[in-house]
Amino acid sequence: KVPTMKMLLLLIAVLSAALLASAAPPTCYSRVLSLSREITESFKELQTSKTVDSCVETLPRLYLDIHNYCVLAKLRDFVAYPGCDRVAEVNELKEKARSLYTILISYCRRDLVFLTDDCNALEIPISPPIEHS
């Protein structure tokens, strides 16, 4: 009976720890990082989509690196870009970019550290390494 009780207590402890770990709120950094990746991916998908308006080709590039101080100017320029207002996907992307900018300058202002201010680095995204199989 004692080993069964120990196993039950161990199981409860493990489940409780797992629930607490998954219930932890996101940090400012993790939220900004995930949102910037989401925006970058959405932009890539938008550019490669065959069904989207041709104005998408004229949009400013939207490669985001939250460790680069120039990301603030990049977000401002993208949100203020006058073209493609008739395309719903672009408006959604602009809204996400506006949210990221607000989070960066308001909520996370003291929590983030910019490692560079190389604006050219945001114009040419770094390609992921090629994996050899």
Q: Does residue 126 lie in a domain region?
A: no
The SS3 of residue 104 is helix
Considering the chain, what percentage of its residues have pLDDT values greater than 70? 78
pLDDT band at 15 (very low <50, low <70, confident <90, very high): low
Number of structural domains (the chain) is 1
pLDDT tens-digit profile of 55-101?
888 888 888 888 888 899 999 999 999 878 888 889 999 999 999 99
Q: Does residue 125 lie in a domain region?
A: no
Kind plus residue range of the DSSP H or E element containing 5: helix 2-22
Q: Does residue 61 lie in a domain region?
A: yes
Q: Does residue 10 lie in a domain region?
A: no
**What's the confidence (pLDDT) of residue 126?**
55
More confident residue, 55 or 23: 55
- State the residue for tokens 């950094």: 29
Q: Does residue 47 lie in a domain region?
A: yes
pTM of the predicted model, to two decimals? 0.70
Residue 122, both tokens? 């945001």
Q: What CA–CA distance (Å, rounded) separates 29 from 113?
A: 10
Residue 3, both tokens? 């080993």
Q: Does residue 12 lie in a domain region?
A: no
Q: Does residue 5 lie in a domain region?
A: no
Q: Does residue 40 lie in a domain region?
A: yes
> Could you list the residue range(s) of the whole structural domain that residue 92 is in?
26-120
Nearest CA-CA partner of 65 in 115, 6, 105, 15: 115
Are the C-beta atoms of residues 38 and 96 closer than 8 Å to each other?
A: yes
More confident residue, 2 or 91: 91
